[in-house]
């Protein structure tokens, strides 16, 4: 195992690669990580713009959106001054594509693709991924799936409009939505995306199992690596179920089968069971890396060991196991046997416990620390704050009777945005934190703080009032809330949310400026600018092909901050303290 890491290290002396093999078809895990990052950030902008259009319609229904008039009918109706009015069919496509893009083409490529690729080899002391060619293939299949998904905007009938959950029978027959190729392409793109993630997952698992540096036992791995390792296992097991369901849906649409169509003996609820059997582990696929990264950042910037390392690792393992037996809580009122609802309520309540353990351990990490409020730390704390709200609001839905009322309302929209959109805080934290190792320069801290404050305030402004709307019964996925007498009195909240969302979107300009300016003109980064313990900071900046000058030997866990053994308040995992420490490692 250590031999293979060393062998990869020896690969570092290649002739200078050409532009194409360096930037496009790179086999280097670090470049593949950057490729995922750029694609993910581009998709984040697209997904964000779609969300703004959805919000515009909800605050000012059927009023012209400035600058949208260039799109032809029937997708957009012309309004005065070059504006365009969003019709209901387009509105359905907007929220469908917003969710699909944000989940499969933003959070997965960045949290799993970027940070999985970039960090796993560096943090375990390996020279690269175990299968570099498979890694490259994973990126390119993912990129093609993104192109297929985006191309669906340009086919007759527009993109998929059946919701990101694609519930049959709505999604199974063209006549129900009026969308033909848009829905086909949605299915095909998600199948390709699943293949891409599957290749990545196999690579991550193999790399973690086989390529850890000498001394890097499983329980010396940073929690970021633990979270990505568990995520990869969930991906490996969950995605085939989605792919199978998507294949069945495609057959129903194109080959005349009836897996989900009752008129041919099929069962619409089968889609929901298969989709959520994938879909609930998927939620943890999205959030576990954010939890791992947050744990590492809180410890680093509190200058203190993570509180309860084993509890943190085992709670993630517990979440991973439990995530397979909670899918039915998406289906309490679906017509599924209500007795099953009772069973799924129990498992769902149980899965809240490991999540609670994580939050309390994060608090424990802060306690007694020497806290540095850097930009990555602020964003990590923002993630904790959002996850706290998202976790607590989940308890309402877990209770089956309460779910009868709030199911399919804005309460659920608030809940999953606090969890899933809240991941964006961990995403930003990670970008600000690892930017020096990825791009060899520091991002600007004051600009980063402005970005944090605006994002935090307007994120909460956009998503917290959605709880009020949900309590009032406001359904999700409706085109015009003013069509309902009981929703109309709450309309001011819809306007407030839209303003918050628009400012939240505009605030991201501070990130874009900072990111691209720092890429070319930021302060040159030193090897270990944050004084952190994990192995990636022991590698040179920029890390060469093969990452390390010599394969590191690991003497201790990742969290020896403020250790009494040394003068400074950090103690890198590979720092040899002489004979005593060396003896311990053997």
* Positions in 245-264 near other proteins (CB under 8 A): 262-263
Distance CA 500, CA 493 (A): 10
- By the 8 A CB rule, do 95 and 54 touch? yes
Instruction: Write the binding mask 453 to 482 for other proteins: x where contact by CB under 8 A, - elsewhere.
Output: --------------xxx-xxx-x-xxxx--
Q: Does residue 503 interact with other proteins by CB under 8 A?
A: no
Give 209 or 373: the residue with its C-beta nearer to other proteins: 373
Considering the complex, state which of residue 305 and residue 522 has its C-beta at the smaller distance from other proteins: 305
Select 134 or 269, whichever has its Cβ closest to other proteins: 269
Q: How far is CA 502 from the centre of its chain?
A: 22
530 touches other proteins (CB under 8 A): no
Q: Are 195 and 242 in contact, with CB atoms under 8 Å apart? A: no
Shortest Å distance, C-beta 89 to other proteins: 4
Smaller CB separation from other proteins, 142 or 557:
557
Nearer to other proteins, 120 or 532 (CB): 532
Is residue 12 near other proteins by the rule CB under 8 A? no
| Residue listed under structure tokens 């934190």 | 433
CB of 7 to other proteins, least distance (A): 35
Under rule CB under 8 A, how many of the chain's residues touch other proteins?
A: 99
* Per-residue 3-state assignment (H helix, E strand, C coil) for 557-568: CCCCCCCCCCCC
The binding track of 60-89 with respect to other proteins, each residue x by CB under 8 A or -, is ---------------------------xxx
Report, in Å, the least distance between residue 348 CB and other proteins: 9
User: Smallest distance, Å, CB 389 to other proteins?
Assistant: 7
Nearer to other proteins by C-beta: 203 or 302?
Answer: 302
**Within 383-402, which residues bind other proteins (CB under 8 A)?**
384-385, 388-389, 392-393, 395-396, 398-402
Complex with other proteins: residue 402 or 503, whichever CB lies closer: 402
For residues 333 and 342, what is the distance between their CA atoms, to the nearest angstrom?
A: 12
Residue closer to other proteins, measured from CB, 446 or 564? 564
For residue 409, give the 3-state DSSP assignment. strand
Count other Cβ atoms within 10 Å, centred on residue 277: 19
* Residue choice 278, 444, 559, 574 for contact with other proteins (CB under 8 A): 559
DSSP string, 73-118: TTTSEE-GGG-EEPPHHHHHHHHHHHHHIIIIIIIIIIIIIIHHHH
Q: Tokens representing 534?
A: 């994990």
**Which residues 304-363 are close enough to bind other proteins by CB under 8 A?**
304-311, 333-335, 338-339, 341-342, 345-346, 349-350, 352-353, 356-357, 359-361, 363
Report the distance separating Cα 418 and Cα 464, nearest Å.
8
- Which residues on neighbouring strands pair with residue 441, listed in sequence order? 524
The footprint of other proteins on residues 124-153 (CB under 8 A) is none
Min separation Cβ 560 and other proteins, Å: 8
Give which of 114, 115, 171 is closest to 142, Cα–Cα: 114
Nearer to other proteins, 91 or 435 (CB): 91
- Of 275-304, binders to other proteins (CB under 8 A) are 302-304
157-196: contacts with other proteins (CB under 8 A)? 161-163, 167, 169-170, 176-178
> Which residues 84-123 are close enough to bind other proteins by CB under 8 A?
87-89, 91-92
Q: Which stretch binds other proteins (CB under 8 A): 30-38, 40-48, 121-129, 266-274?
A: 266-274
Q: Which is nearer to other proteins, 256 or 335 (CB)?
A: 335
Angle between helices 268-302 and 423-439 (to 10 degrees): 60
Euclidean distance between CA atoms 534 and 221, whole angstroms: 9
Distances (CA, A) of 206 to 16, 87, 108, 212, 539: 29, 48, 19, 10, 22
Q: How far is CA 414 from CA 27, 406, 421, 546, 576, in A?
A: 40, 11, 10, 44, 49
Under the binding rule (CB under 8 A), the answer on residue 366 touching other proteins is yes
Of 11 and 173, the one with the shorter C-beta distance to other proteins is 173
- If the CB atoms of residues 360 and 516 are measured against other proteins, the closer one turns out to be 360
**In this chain, which of 549, 569, 576, 584 binds other proteins, going by CB under 8 A?**
569
Q: What angle do CA 321, 326, 327 make, to 5 degrees?
A: 115
β-bridge partners, 85: 77
CB of 322 to other proteins, least distance (A): 12
For residue 278, give the H/E element and its range.
helix 268-302
Pure H helices in 303-333: 309-322
Distance from C-alpha of 521 to C-alpha of 507, rounded to nearest angstrom: 21
> What would the two tokens of residue 334 be?
């679906």
Q: List the x/- string, 403-432, binding to other proteins by CB under 8 A.
A: -xx-xxx-----------------------
């Amino acid at each position: 195992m250590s031999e293979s890491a060393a062998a990869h290290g020896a690969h570092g002396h290649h002739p200078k690669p050409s532009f194409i093999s360096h930037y496009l078809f790179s086999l280097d895990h670090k470049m593949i990580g950057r490729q995922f990052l750029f694609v993910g950030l581009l998709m984040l902008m697209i997904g964000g713009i779609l969300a703004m259009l959805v919000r515009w319609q909800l605050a000012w229904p059927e009023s012209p959106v400035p600058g949208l008039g260039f799109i032809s009918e029937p997708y957009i109706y012309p309004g005065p001054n070059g504006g365009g009015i969003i019709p209901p069919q387009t509105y359905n496509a907007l929220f469908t594509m917003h969710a699909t893009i944000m989940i499969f083409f933003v959070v997965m490529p960045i949290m799993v693709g970027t940070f999985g690729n970039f960090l796993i080899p560096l943090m375990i002391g390996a020279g690269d991924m175990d299968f570099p060619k498979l890694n490259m293939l994973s990126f390119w299949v993912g990129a093609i799936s993104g192109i297929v998904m985006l191309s669906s905007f340009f086919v007759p009938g527009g993109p998929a409009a059946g919701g990101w959950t694609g519930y049959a029978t709505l999604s199974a027959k063209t006549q129900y939505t009026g969308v033909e190729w848009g829905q086909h392409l949605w299915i095909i793109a998600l199948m390709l995306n699943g293949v891409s993630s599957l290749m990545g997952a196999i690579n991550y698992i193999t790399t973690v199992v086989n390529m850890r540096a000498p001394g890097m036992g499983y329980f010396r791995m940073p929690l970021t690596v633990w979270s990505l390792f568990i995520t990869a296992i969930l991906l490996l097991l969950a995605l085939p179920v989605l792919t199978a369901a998507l294949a069945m849906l495609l057959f129903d649409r194109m080959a005349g089968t009836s897996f989900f169509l009752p008129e041919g003996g099929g069962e619409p609820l089968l889609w929901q069971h298969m989709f959520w059997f994938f879909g609930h582990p998927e939620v943890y696929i999205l959030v576990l890396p954010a939890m791992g990264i947050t744990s590492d950042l809180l410890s680093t910037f509190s200058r203190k060991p993570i509180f309860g390392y084993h509890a943190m690792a085992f709670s993630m393992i517990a979440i991973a196991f439990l995530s397979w037996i909670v899918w039915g809580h998406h289906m309490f009122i679906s017509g599924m046997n209500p007795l099953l609802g009772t069973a799924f309520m129990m498992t769902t309540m149980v899965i809240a416990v490991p999540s609670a353990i994580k939050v309390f351990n994060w608090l424990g990490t802060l306690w007694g620390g020497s806290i540095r409020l850097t930009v990555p730390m602020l964003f990590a704390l923002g993630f904790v704050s959002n996850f706290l709200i998202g976790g607590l609001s989940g308890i309402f839905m877990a209770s089956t009777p309460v779910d009868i009322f709030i199911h399919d309302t804005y309460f659920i929209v608030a809940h999953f945005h606090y969890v899933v959109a809240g991941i964006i805080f961990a995403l930003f934290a990670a970008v600000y934190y690892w930017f020096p190792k990825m791009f060899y320069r520091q991002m600007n801290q004051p600009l980063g703080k402005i970005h944090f404050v605006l994002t935090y305030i307007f994120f909460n402004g956009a998503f917290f009032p959605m709880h009020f709307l949900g309590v009032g019964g406001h359904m999700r996925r409706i085109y015009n809330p003013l069509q309902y007498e009981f929703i109309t009195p709450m309309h001011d909240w819809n306007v407030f949310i839209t303003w918050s969302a628009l400012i939240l979107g505009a605030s991201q300009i501070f990130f874009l400026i900072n990111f691209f300016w720092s890429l070319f003109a930021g302060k040159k980064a030193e090897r270990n600018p944050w004084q952190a313990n994990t192995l990636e900071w022991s590698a040179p900046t920029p890390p060469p092909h093969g990452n390390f000058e010599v394969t590191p030997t690991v003497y201790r866990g990742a969290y020896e901050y403020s250790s009494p053994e040394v003068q400074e308040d950090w103690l890198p995992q590979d720092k040899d303290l002489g004979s005593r420490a060396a003896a311990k490692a053997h």
